């Protein structure tokens, strides 16, 4: 089995640069909190060159570098960056796993493993595959190093080895021990006690550890040292990488200060939607609905679902529809954080007709329908379908899509002499005089007078098994003295009459 590793060395820093790319190249430090005595977690290379070090307080860091840009660690941004690294790997292999978070020297790293078996069918070499993998991560805003080896552990050690950030590493089968030999023992993350013992024996390189006799190593340093020596020789028993379950794609951000106006909120939302769209587009996916959640001051919460007519990965469309929804129903308080989630769906390519001109772009229809739904409310825009019931006036709204519209068969046009029934919603109340079980005279806003002709009744009933939704109706088509032909309905349960429709 061949395994590829994609590693981001400093996740808090990478997550912040992904959200604020304009900070690239500036002296930037990520602190654990905005407090003056908060500890610096990571710093960018320009900040390190100016004397800023992890472990300093923010006050000490500002003393070392007056132009230092400080940002706080944001779990929401880091979680999104970690999942983005997974999305980059999913562009190349269906079998991907996120490594468990670590502590100690490599606590800030984020690592993803993917199955690299059989890649030569598409890529000329494993180095080319690793280069493409690293480039895909960079296109999603993350600078990551890629390595390919025969196991997770060896691939991770190769990705951790010193060198250029964008350098790729490939360890061929059988060359693990020689490749790892010059690397520092610290890459194996030994415990403090074991690291002290190894240093006392003069063991500082993986090759030196790999050459120690196993029996002597076990008797002096224990089972843990034996496992590290096996890793130093490139020996590792790996389980296969499983295919991850489909999960929603989430982008979120915690704001530095609450936002109480729509314009700055739209600016923040644009960045979140751009990052979400980039992740979907990289995997050839789109979104049919967005779940927008806003964390408000005083522990308030605002959640809304924004529907789209067709799968789309256009952040401009998303922003326009989301802004319209926020303008129609503004949040009730200032916003402290926001979260956007969606389920990625395949984007359908439209088949053009051979003999007809091309119609409007599907995104234009999606934008129009989404704007209407933002005004009318979720679930109130679509096309009617018949539910599984005998009730004549029952219908449901289904989300509109070009697929549904195209799949409906063409119905031959009805002859012009057949009258059309125009349904009245809601029905008009009517007063009816009955003779011999049939309507003889009625009074209503749609028709009035003696009944000159009557057809029916047509009886429908259903829902008898439930207390709500039960119905029992008799329908009549009647011709009244004033010249109207109407559909009359008698509710047998309520003993009420109404005009259900008018024939045009």
pLDDT tens digits, 290-327:
999 999 988 889 998 887 767 888 898 889 888 888 88
Residue 120 in domain: yes
Q: Is the separation of the CB atoms in 61 and 40 below 8 Å?
A: yes
Same domain, 90 and 179: no
Tell which residue, 443, 434, 448, 454, has the closest CA to residue 484. Answer: 448
Q: For residue 309, what are the CA distances in angstroms to 96, 325, 373, 383?
A: 31, 15, 10, 11
Q: Which pair of structure tokens corresponds to residue 295? A: 């964390």
CA-to-CA distance for 28 and 20, rounded, in angstroms? 11
Q: Is residue 180, in this structure, part of any structural domain at all? A: yes
pLDDT for 226: 87
Residues above pLDDT 70, as percent of the chain: 92
Q: Are 150 and 173 in contact (CB under 8 A)?
A: yes
Whether 374 and 431 share a structural domain? no
> 166 and 140 in one domain?
yes
pLDDT interval class at 4 (50, 70, 90): very high
Q: In this structure, is residue 42 part of a structural domain?
A: yes
Judgement on whether residues 260 and 231 belong to the same structural domain of the protein: no
> Which residue range forms the structural domain that includes residue 218?
174-245
* Position 411 in a domain: no
Q: What is the pLDDT of residue 401?
A: 62
User: Residue 441 has what pLDDT?
Assistant: 92
Q: Can you give the pTM of this predicted structure?
A: 0.72
More confident of the two residues 242 and 366:
242
pLDDT top residue among 246 and 8: 8
Q: Which of 215, 230, 245 is the last residue of a domain?
A: 245
Judge whether residue 409 has pLDDT over 60. no
Q: Is 62 left (phi over 0), alpha (psi -120 to 50) or beta?
A: alpha
- pLDDT, residue 201, reads 84
**Number of domains present in the structure of the chain:** 4
Q: What are the residues whose beta carbons fall under 8 Å from the beta carbon of 100, sequence distance 6 or more?
A: none
Residue with tokens 């509109």, as numbered in its chain: 400
pLDDT reading at 339 higher than 90: yes
Structural domain contains residue 475? yes
Tokens 């029905």 identify what position?
Answer: 427
Specify if 257 maps to a domain: yes
Together in a domain, 204 and 319:
no
Residues 336 and 366 in one domain: yes
The confidence score (pLDDT) of residue 213 equals 85
330 and 443: one domain?
A: no
Residues 124 and 224 in one domain: no
């Amino acid at each position: 089995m061949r395994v590829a590793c994609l590693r981001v060395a400093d996740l808090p820093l990478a997550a912040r640069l992904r959200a604020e790319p304009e900070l690239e190249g500036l002296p930037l430090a990520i602190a654990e909190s905005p407090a003056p005595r908060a500890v610096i977690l990571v710093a960018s290379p320009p900040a390190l060159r100016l004397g800023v070090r992890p472990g300093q307080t923010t006050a000490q860091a500002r003393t070392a570098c007056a132009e230092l840009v400080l940002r706080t660690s944001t779990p929401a941004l880091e979680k999104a960056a970690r999942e983005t690294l997974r999305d980059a790997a999913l562009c190349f292999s269906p079998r991907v796993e996120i490594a468990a978070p670590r502590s100690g020297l490599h606590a800030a790293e984020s690592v993803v493993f993917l199955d690299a078996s059989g890649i030569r069918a598409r890529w000329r070499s494993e180095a080319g595959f690793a280069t493409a993998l690293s480039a895909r991560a960079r296109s999603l805003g993350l600078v990551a190093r890629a390595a390919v080896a025969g196991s997770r552990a060896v691939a991770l050690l190769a990705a951790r080895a010193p060198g250029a950030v964008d350098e790729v590493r490939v360890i061929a089968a059988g060359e693990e021990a020689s490749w790892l030999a010059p690397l520092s023992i610290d890459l194996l993350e030994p415990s403090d006690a074991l690291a002290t013992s190894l240093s006392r024996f003069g063991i500082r390189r993986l090759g030196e550890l790999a050459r120690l006799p196993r029996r002597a190593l076990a008797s002096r340093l224990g089972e843990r040292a034996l496992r590290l020596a096996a890793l130093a020789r490139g020996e590792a028993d790996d389980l296969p990488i499983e295919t991850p379950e489909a999960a929603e794609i989430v982008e979120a951000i915690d704001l530095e200060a609450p936002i109480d106006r729509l314009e700055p909120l739209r600016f923040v939302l644009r960045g979140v939607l751009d990052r979400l769209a980039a992740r979907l587009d990289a995997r050839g996916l789109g979104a049919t609905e967005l779940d927008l959640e806003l964390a408000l001051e005083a522990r308030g919460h605002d959640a809304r679902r924004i529907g789209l007519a067709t799968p789309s990965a256009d952040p401009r469309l998303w922003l326009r529809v989301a802004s319209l929804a926020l303008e129609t129903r503004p949040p009730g308080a200032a916003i402290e954080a926001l979260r956007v989630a969606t389920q990625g769906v395949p984007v359908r390519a439209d088949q053009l007709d051979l003999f007809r001109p091309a119609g409007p772009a599907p995104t234009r229809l999606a934008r129009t329908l989404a704007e209407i739904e933002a005004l009318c409310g979720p679930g109130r825009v679509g096309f009617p379908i018949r539910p599984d019931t005998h009730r004549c006036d029952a219908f449901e709204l289904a989300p509109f899509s070009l697929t549904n519209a195209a799949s409906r068969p063409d119905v031959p046009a009805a002859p012009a002499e057949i009258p059309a029934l125009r349904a009245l919603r809601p029905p008009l109340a009517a007063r009816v005089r009955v003779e011999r079980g049939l309507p003889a005279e009625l009074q209503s806003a749609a028709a009035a007078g003696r009944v000159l002709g009557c057809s029916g009744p047509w009886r429908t009933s259903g829902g008898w098994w439930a207390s709500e939704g039960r119905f029992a109706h008799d329908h009549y088509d009647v011709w009244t003295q004033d010249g109207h032909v109407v559909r009359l309905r008698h509710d047998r349960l309520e003993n009420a009459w109404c005009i259900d429709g008018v024939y045009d």
